A and B are shown apart, each in its own frame.
Chain A
Amino acid sequence: MYSEKVMDHFMNPRNVGEIKDADGVGTVGNPVCGDIMRIYLKIEDNIIKDAKFKTFGCGAAVASSSMATELIKGKTVDDAWGTSNKAVVEALEGLPPIKIHCSVLAEQAIHAAINDYRIKHGMEPIKEEHKDIHDEERCE
């Protein structure tokens, strides 16, 4: 059911863990729905120097977090914000349709972490375009 890439990122997840003095932390999802994603960012000179994650969720959720953190490392904060869920899905060589929400969650976790960083540094948070994925589905 999962691509080899997804299985690789699930079995050998990159960037698992916490960043103790993170510049931005974002948590999204809902344990009631079976997935919570938390992304930690270390940001220097507007560049994502390091990214780590912790995830409670299925194989696709873990793989999406792993891939998302890989994709944003080394990027500018703006570019990281622009990393879409589609980019995560493509990099994972596809996700089953019912698991697409895991990639959306990864995108939202990045946004939440960046906004946390912006708020801490006296900037306005950027408005999130997606509405919360869980509002659209049965699980709340």
Chain B
Amino acid sequence: MGKIVYMDNSATTPTKSEVLEEMKPYFTEKYGNPSSIYSLARETKAAIEKSREKVAKVLGANPDEIYFTAGGSESDNWTLKGIAYANQNKGNHIITTKIEHHAVLHACEYLEKHGFEVTYLPVDEYGLINLDDFKKAITDKTILVSVMFANNEIGTIEPIAEVGKICKDKGIYFHTDAVQAVGNVPINVKKMNIDLLSLSAHKFYGPKGVGALYIKKGVKINPLIHGGGQEGGRRAGTENVPGIVGLGKAIELAGESMDSHIERLTKLRDKLIGGIMKIPYSKLNGHPVKRLPGNVNVCFRFIEGESMLLLLDGMGVCGSSGSACSSGSLDPSHVLLAIGLPPEIAHGSLRLTLGDFTTEEDVDYVLGLLPKFVKRLRDMSPLYEEFIKKGEESCTAKK
């Protein structure tokens, strides 16, 4: 393989070597089942508890409020179904947003088929929910509010502390999908009044297939996975010990380097955005400032996103798009439609997400390629041709 410039860190990140080194012994030497009683097992049990402490520290939680899962999707599903069924006696109404990850949206659709009612809050052109809309959506049947901390496509950071305060005053459980936020935005579950929080290790340089759910002490929730007594009887299954150890190390590193990570990525991000905005008929999606430090999401009018991804891939650049063609369906991204983009423009979106291994050289390399690729695709676009012809007509009409 030639040069690879990886700009898809919101999809996943590489596992850092320090993280991998911590995990390794738990595959081979330290393999005991944490539920057994001999010393080989006590060692793995202790490793899990150490990880739990590390997660709790970064979130401002107590260790006994952290439950390990198989990733972000499980944590989201557990919350939605577990809270809904455990609190049916209080009500059947859930509030979420139109821009959640499918792990939340599809779990909500499932619950709607089983007697629950869900309000999907709209967002403004930047992807932000409106707090008045939110307050108005609350009824005496509302049992759960789920608002993502930061959006995975456009990077918009939602007013989580404000939502948390409102939920606390009303006595409604508040869950946030923080899969994209952990390591990228300072989080304190107590100060922000968060009752449940989902995270996933592979988004912050840990391994795939392991995550956690923070559940505030006292929250009433049913298990999603029934079985043995692991995780305080709330999440059955022999623990993914190497994964949990990796998650712990990764979140510890993320916590230690958060400030410098945010500062460095924000600079690179803004350089990339600034360079792209020089391309005519391009638009930034998401909020200019309330935005994940590594997230760039833009639309190039008159071109289709998958074509752009293929050209970039030809030069070793890994990115993603909200176009229908790259999502495996015929509809463009629900997030881009929710911020009000017309479908034909949403098809031309490009997401580049920077990470700890992205260099300024990478940014310059991509900025060198994009104008050429945009021109090449526009030159073959009938939409651009029509736009230019119309433009000429309206110019001559003015004269």
CB–CB A62/B385 < 8 A: no
> For A56, A60, A62, which residue has the most chain B Cβ atoms within 10 angstroms?
A56
A57 to chain B, nearest CB (A): 5
CB–CB A11/B314 < 8 A: yes
Q: Give the residue name and chain of the B residue nearest to A101 (CB).
A: B330
Whether A32 is near chain B, meaning CB under 8 Å from some CB there, is: yes
C-beta contact mask, B293-309 vs A, less than 8 Å → 1, else 0?
Answer: 00000000011101100
CB–CB B325/A57 < 8 A: yes
A117 to chain B, nearest CB (A): 18
Q: Which residues of A sit under 8 angstroms from B92, Cβ to Cβ?
A: none
Interface residues on chain B, number (Cβ under 8 Å): 28
The distance in angstroms between the C-alpha atoms of A56 and B380, with both chains bound, is 7
Q: Which residues of B sit under 8 angstroms from A138, Cβ to Cβ?
A: 329-331
Q: Is the interface of A mostly helix, strand, loop or mixed?
A: mixed
Q: Give the residue name and chain of the B residue nearest to A134 (CB).
A: B330
The distance in angstroms between the C-alpha atoms of A126 and B224, with both chains bound, is 59
Contact of A32 among B311, B326, B344, B379 (CB under 8 A): B344
Q: Which residues of B sit under 8 angstroms from A123, Cβ to Cβ?
A: none
CB–CB B325/A58 < 8 A: yes
The distance in angstroms between the C-alpha atoms of A57 and B332, with both chains bound, is 13
The distance in angstroms between the C-alpha atoms of A139 and B328, with both chains bound, is 13
The distance in angstroms between the C-alpha atoms of A13 and B310, with both chains bound, is 13
C-beta contact mask, B339-362 vs A, less than 8 Å → 1, else 0?
Answer: 000111001000000000000000
Beyond A98-B328, A139-B330, whether A38 also contacts B304 by CB under 8 A is: no
Contact of B306 among A11, A16, A17, A59 (CB under 8 A): A59
CB–CB A139/B324 < 8 A: yes
A59-88, CB < 8 A from B: 59-62
Q: Give the residue name and chain of the B residue nearest to A99 (CB).
A: B325
C-beta contact mask, B377-398 vs A, less than 8 Å → 1, else 0?
Answer: 0011111110000000000000
B99-156, CB < 8 A from A: none
Contact of A34 among B311, B347, B380 (CB under 8 A): B347
CB–CB B307/A59 < 8 A: yes
Whether B193 is near chain A, meaning CB under 8 Å from some CB there, is: no
C-beta contact mask, A4-41 vs B, less than 8 Å → 1, else 0?
Answer: 00010011010011100000000100011111111000
Q: Which residues of A sit under 8 angstroms from B344, Cβ to Cβ?
A: 31-32, 34
Whether B323 is near chain A, meaning CB under 8 Å from some CB there, is: yes
Q: Which residues of A sit under 8 angstroms from B342, Cβ to Cβ?
A: 32
The distance in angstroms between the C-alpha atoms of A18 and B383, with both chains bound, is 13
CB–CB A10/B307 < 8 A: yes
A51 to chain B, nearest CB (A): 14
CB–CB B385/A58 < 8 A: no
C-beta contact mask, B274-316 vs A, less than 8 Å → 1, else 0?
Answer: 0000000000000000000000000000111011001100100
Beyond A10-B307, A57-B325, whether A36 also contacts B382 by CB under 8 A is: yes
Q: Which residues of B sit under 8 angstroms from A108, Cβ to Cβ?
A: none
Whether A45 is near chain B, meaning CB under 8 Å from some CB there, is: no
The distance in angstroms between the C-alpha atoms of A34 and B328, with both chains bound, is 13
CB–CB A139/B331 < 8 A: yes
Contact of A16 among B326, B329, B380 (CB under 8 A): B380
CB–CB B324/A55 < 8 A: no
CB–CB A62/B379 < 8 A: no
Beyond A11-B314, A58-B307, whether A34 also contacts B381 by CB under 8 A is: no
Whether A54 is near chain B, meaning CB under 8 Å from some CB there, is: yes
Q: Which residues of B sit under 8 angstroms from A128, Cβ to Cβ?
A: none
The distance in angstroms between the C-alpha atoms of A36 and B318, with both chains bound, is 26
Whether A137 is near chain B, meaning CB under 8 Å from some CB there, is: yes
CB–CB A32/B306 < 8 A: no
Q: Give the residue name and chain of the B residue nearest to A18 (CB).
A: B385
CB–CB B382/A35 < 8 A: no
Q: Which residues of B sit under 8 angstroms from A10, Cβ to Cβ?
A: 307, 310
The distance in angstroms between the C-alpha atoms of A13 and B347, with both chains bound, is 21
CB–CB A54/B330 < 8 A: no
A92 to chain B, nearest CB (A): 14
The distance in angstroms between the C-alpha atoms of A57 and B347, with both chains bound, is 9
Beyond A13-B380, A27-B382, A33-B324, whether A57 also contacts B304 by CB under 8 A is: yes
* Leading 5 A-B pairs by shortest Cβ distance: A58-B325, A31-B344, A58-B306, A34-B347, A139-B330
Complex A-B: 7 CB contacts under 8 Å: A17-B380, A32-B343, A33-B343, A34-B324, A34-B344, A35-B304, A54-B382
